[in-house]
């Protein structure tokens, strides 16, 4: 092979190595993020209609005020907990994305540096 061909092969190999390293870093980041994702800290069974005092019937189509208040409390407790879990998940995903971006930036910089070094400043 000629010197120019050798340089192209070297550049291709280093680029492939840099791309492989970036993909590995990305996969590692996602695996690490999956390990720290929050798990739900509540049991949906706790939000059962057992708190209600009587069933709705044709003779009594409207629930008592206490049941309505209990339903509102149960609903908002559930929503509050779900939003807290979503916030934790979103924060974890953003942190993982930031780490992934930094790793991609580093891998790209290293790949560019390797390419520049491989060409020794020669125009291709």
- pLDDT by residue (tens digit) across 61-116? 777 777 788 888 888 888 888 888 888 888 888 888 888 888 888 888 888 887 77
pLDDT of 29: 74
Q: Report residue 32's pLDDT band, with 50, 70 and 90 as the boundaries.
A: confident
DSSP state of 120: T
pLDDT at 51 over 60: no
Domains of the chain, residue spans: 3-50+58-119
| Burial profile 17-56: b = 16 or more Cβ within 10 angstroms, e = fewer | ebeeebeebbeebeeebeeeeeeeeeeeeeeeeeebeeee
pLDDT of 47: 54
Q: What is the pLDDT of residues 6-28, one digit of tens each?
A: 776 777 777 777 777 777 777 77
pLDDT of 49: 58
Q: Name the pTM for this structure.
A: 0.43
pLDDT at 35 over 60: yes
């Amino acid at each position: 092979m000629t010197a120019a061909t050798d340089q192209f092969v070297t550049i291709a190999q280093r680029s492939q190595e840099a791309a492989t390293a970036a993909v590995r870093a990305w996969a590692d980041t996602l695996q690490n993020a999956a390990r720290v994702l929050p798990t739900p800290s509540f049991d949906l069974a706790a939000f059962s209609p057992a708190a209600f005092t009587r069933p709705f019937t044709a003779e009594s189509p409207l629930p008592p005020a206490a049941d309505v208040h209990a339903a509102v409390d149960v609903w908002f407790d559930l929503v509050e907990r779900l939003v807290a879990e979503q916030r934790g998940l979103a924060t974890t995903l953003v942190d993982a994305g930031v780490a992934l971006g930094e790793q991609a930036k580093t891998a790209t910089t290293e790949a560019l540096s390797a390419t520049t070094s491989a060409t020794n400043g020669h125009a291709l």
